[in-house]
Amino acid sequence: MKSAMRVRVGAAWAVLMVCVFLAGTATKAAAEEREQSDSERLAEVEEKVEILADEVGRLESIFAVPEEVALDSFSGLGPAASKVYKRDQGLSLGGYGEVRLRSFHNQNEDNEDDVFDALRAVIYAGYKFDDKWVVNTEMEFEHGGTGGSGSVSTEFATVDYLWREEVNVRAGLVLVPMGFVNEIHEPTFFYGAERPEVERQILPSTWRENGAGLFGRIADRIDYRFYVINGFDGSDFSNKGLRGGRQKGSKALSNDFAFVGRIDVDVAPGLLVGGSVYTGQSGQEQDYTSEIDEFARDLPDAHTTIYEFHAQYKGQGLSLRGLFTEAFIDEAARLSRNLDKGFTDTDMGMPVVRGFTAGSTEGIANRMRGWYVEGAYDILPLFCDTKATLEPYFRYEYYNTQQDVSGGYAKDKSKEVDLYTAGLQFKPIPNVVFKLDYRHFDPTNNDKADQVQALVGYVF
């Protein structure tokens, strides 16, 4: 009896131990399963967080405006306009602006009003799709908007293919690569509250046309740009120069194309020497109809050539710059006659019989010429250690849009100008500039009033 009891107790005890063992095994398995499940969930969460972080970084790379990008020129463009080329990918924004007060002095006859003008506010917007394809644009708002005398313009809009440092392709509305300020016209990168008149009157800055071409840098010291662009519209040339002939990309006549090329060489540290040339016909195969006698006249080809040489040195607080340019217009006298330049009515002002007035000063010149030299020096390091700059500057300019005339026309001597500009430029930080200067026009051959100018400008 006792033996049977011991057997039953032993069996029960064995069953209990098996149950305990199985329960322990199940608990351990459940714990391991929970631990494995938690690890999997943690790994899944970590993977999602990593994906989210990568996506945020990608979006930041595409859409954020990187303020840390240095303002350095690329392929001749303004430093702020060059920011997109320094991105790996995505959107880049930049811009500049100028507000100027101009006061007139020593006026001879007609009084001119002083003018306080929001000259321009500009936005650069570029997008880099990858390491090869770039879109870059400049939108300019002039004189405070279109409500008064202002305007909104596209200064350039290009698509670039960056093949390699030595050879790249550009197409669209391009800045013509001539002179110093036509491409780099941000106010912190040139002296004066007004751009040099030589680069406005002979090189008609800001000058942009539709076209395409190549650009690049060779041996890390030679920059070039070669474009084919639409030519001038010669029907808007005048004795004042070529500015009226710019087509600015707006439904530009393209019966005549032109070539423009530029080369710059870094000769030594801080020293740059270069030149550029433009050549092409300007008649655009047009017929010009006189408003008086309604007679249609074929405009001549008016082949136009401009060249310029320039040099610049920057170092040890010193800045020096010089430029010489000439423009030539073939068949200028014929172009002037066909455009009614210098014609007068011969019958008491009646629009029936017309004849050329010998000695008229309205004719377009065969040749135009201009040059300037300027210098500036940062004097603040003489007094304190600072990143701010204070630079007195001086510029002498000579320009004549009536250098040579022919065909019975006479020179308009008022178009021969000597201009002296002296001023002071202060940059509290590199991106903000204050300018104050005095412009004196030689009174022996024109009646222009002297001007005092004050300007605040910025770039970003």
| Choice between 378 and 290, residue whose per-residue pLDDT is larger | 378
β-partners of residue 257 are 230
Q: Are residues 15 and 98 in the same domain?
A: no
Indicate whether 416 belongs to any domain: yes
Q: How far apart are CA 413 and CA 156, in angstroms?
A: 35
The chain-wide mean pLDDT, for the chain, equals: 87
452 within domain boundaries: yes
For residue 71, tell me if it sits in a domain: no
Least confident among 134-148, 219-233, 319-333: 134-148
Of 233, 242, 206, 281, nearest to 403 (Cα)?
A: 242
> Of 39, 64, 89, which residue is a domain's last?
64
Q: How many domains does the chain have?
A: 2
Query: Which of 25-34, 84-93, 372-381 has the lowest average pLDDT?
Result: 25-34
Residue 177 to residue 302: CA distance in whole angstroms: 22
Domain stops at, among 18, 36, 64: 64
3-state secondary structure of 208: strand
| Judgement on whether residues 236 and 172 belong to the same structural domain of the protein | yes
Among 30, 64, 98, residue at a domain's last position: 64
Q: Is the pLDDT of residue 108 over 70?
A: no
CA atoms within 13 A on the CB side of 150: 15
Higher pLDDT: 167 or 39? It is 167
Are both 8 and 111 inside the same structural domain?
no
What six digits make up the tokens of 292?
A: 């008086």
Is there a single domain that holds both residue 31 and residue 128? Answer: no
Q: What is the DSSP letter of 191?
A: S
Flag whether 70 is in a domain: no
438 domain-assigned:
yes
What the block records as the tokens of 258 is: 């032109």
In a domain, 427, yes or no: yes
Could you tell me if residue 377 is inside a domain?
yes
In a domain, 72, yes or no: no
User: Secondary structure of the chain: what % helix, strand, coil (to 5)?
Assistant: 20, 45, 35
- Tens of pLDDT, residues 38-97: 677 677 766 766 776 666 566 555 555 545 557 899 998 999 999 999 999 999 999 999
* Cα-based distances in Å from 233 to 36, 240, 252, 264, 285: 79, 15, 8, 28, 10
Provide mean pLDDT across the span 18-30: 47
Do 400 and 446 lie in a common domain? Answer: yes
**How large is the average pLDDT for residues 186-194?**
97
Domain that holds residue 145: 78-459
Pair 51, 199 in one domain = no
Based on the domain organization, do 4 and 110 belong to the same domain? no
